[in-house]
A and B are shown apart, each in its own frame.
Chain A
Amino acid sequence: MAQAVAWELVRQAAAGQADARRALVEATLDDLWALAMRLVRRQDEAETIVQETYARAFAALGGLTPAGRFEGFLARVATNLVLERWRRRRPTADVSEVDAASSDAEPWQTAADKEEHGRLLAAAWQAIQDLSPEPRAAMLLFYAQEQSCRQVAEVMDVPVGTVKTWLHRARNQVRQDAERILHGSGAAQP
């Protein structure tokens, strides 16, 4: 994770200084891109999310109070944007992008292990896309973004207990759906 952005830089960007804005984008873009990609799994959609996030953030810079991390503010804006899009329509991420991104992440003992893992992950991703927007976002922030329940609660502006409830229900739902998908396709259970 990149070093925290100084609020002085944010203040200069709010004043309209072009070099400060560039520095702010350069310092936060990679994390924001990763967050958007973990949520939507499509490069074109992630790009749109990132652009809209900065547009909203720059419009609100003047009213920001220097508390907490600026990156947390950006994450909240991006997550809300993704939630708005999900509420309008079902996500369209390609399962192959999930599978491809994770292929080299883990040193697999055997090829069969890797194949089994890939099947399970693809089924899980398919099941995740059927979740309602808020539990889906909580699940992806928790697993993909590796945030704690408390951090997810802060980003989504809900109590920690709500996040735990969402995660519990989402896990059960994804487990059932993934098993159904795997059984339906004739794949062997792990």
Chain B
Amino acid sequence: MKTPCDRIGEWLDDETRPPIAADLAAHAPGCDACRNPVALERALREGLRDVAAPDAARRAALVNGILRASSAAPPASGRRGRTVFWSWAAIAAAAAIILAAVLAWPQVPRNPISPTEVFGDFLGPLVMLVPPAPQEDAATAPPAPSAEVLTADDVFGVFWSDFEGPLAVALGAMEAPRVAAGIPAAAAVGPTKEE
């Protein structure tokens, strides 16, 4: 069985039936726990409800102002239609300007530059993955590609040749299996690309 104190929350949310609400209202003044919440509740319910109405002149001016503003504004549907139209018109105009700018842009003569001329030093490790073309008869061979193909030795051979001392010895030890397999030492292989 809930005590009146337990029902205060329900009463505050206005979920209690009127007889119970009357019991709570009678209980609250004598209860230390309920007195302040109920006093505040009463003050809020009774104090915030009433507001001053506008006087007749102010009300009439307000009505006229509202109607004047609404008559000045276009009807909702018409305004929406025009808004949509102008949105599309703006998009079409922007697209036309961009297209005209692209067409009018001066054409810069383009010199064919091979990627390796620009990125050769950076793309070496990637280009080296491309196997060298097999040797063919000069008569039947297709024209040589303009792009130069680097091999692994092009990249690492030059790289390794720059080392000296203990590191060179260590690198030489790493080269030993290549030498045993009949593969020329990297350092001995010069760059194959044309100077």
Q: Which residue of A lies closest to B79 (CB)?
A: A59
B49 within 8 A of A: yes
Cross-chain contact A61 with B63 (CB below 8 angstroms): no
Binary interface encoding of chain B residues 30-65 relative to chain A, with 1 for a CB under 8 A from any of its CBs, else 0 = 000001110111111111111111100011001101
A106 within 8 A of B: yes
Cross-chain contact A25 with B43 (CB below 8 angstroms): no
A63 within 8 A of B: yes
Cross-chain contact A102 with B50 (CB below 8 angstroms): yes
A37 within 8 A of B: yes
B77 within 8 A of A: yes
B195 within 8 A of A: no
Tell me, rounded to whole Å, the shortest Cβ–Cβ distance linking A13 to chain B. Answer: 9
Asked, given contacts A18-B67, A34-B53, A175-B37, whether A60 binds B46 with beta carbons under 8 Å apart, the answer is no
Cross-chain contact A120 with B53 (CB below 8 angstroms): no
B66 within 8 A of A: yes
Give Cα A43 to B46, complex, Å: 20
Give Cα A142 to B40, complex, Å: 14
Of residues 62 to 99 in B, which have CB atoms within 8 Å of A's CB atoms? 62-63, 65-67, 69-71, 73, 75-77, 79-80
Residues of B within 8 A of A98 (CB): 47-48
A171 within 8 A of B: yes
Asked, given contacts A14-B76, A26-B63, A29-B63, whether A58 binds B12 with beta carbons under 8 Å apart, the answer is no
Tell me, rounded to whole Å, the shortest Cβ–Cβ distance linking B48 to chain A. Answer: 4
Residues of B within 8 A of A76 (CB): none
A11 within 8 A of B: no
Cross-chain contact A33 with B67 (CB below 8 angstroms): no
Give Cα A38 to B50, complex, Å: 8
A55 within 8 A of B: yes
A1-9, A78-86, A143-151 - the one binding chain B: A143-151
| Residue of B39, B40, B43, B67 most packed against chain A (CB within 10 A) | B43
Cross-chain contact A51 with B65 (CB below 8 angstroms): yes
A159 within 8 A of B: no
Binary interface encoding of chain B residues 6-23 relative to chain A, with 1 for a CB under 8 A from any of its CBs, else 0 = 000100111000000000
**Interface set of A (CB-CB < 8 Å, partner B):** 14-16, 18, 21-22, 25-26, 29-30, 33-34, 37-38, 41, 43, 47, 50-51, 54-55, 58-63, 97-102, 104-106, 117, 120-121, 124-125, 139-140, 142-144, 146, 148-149, 164, 167-168, 171, 174-175, 178-179, 189-190
**Interface set of B (CB-CB < 8 Å, partner A):** 9, 12-14, 35-37, 39-54, 58-59, 62-63, 65-67, 69-71, 73, 75-77, 79-80
The 8 closest A-B pairs by CB, nearest first: A62-B76, A144-B48, A37-B51, A102-B47, A121-B47, A62-B77, A143-B44, A121-B43
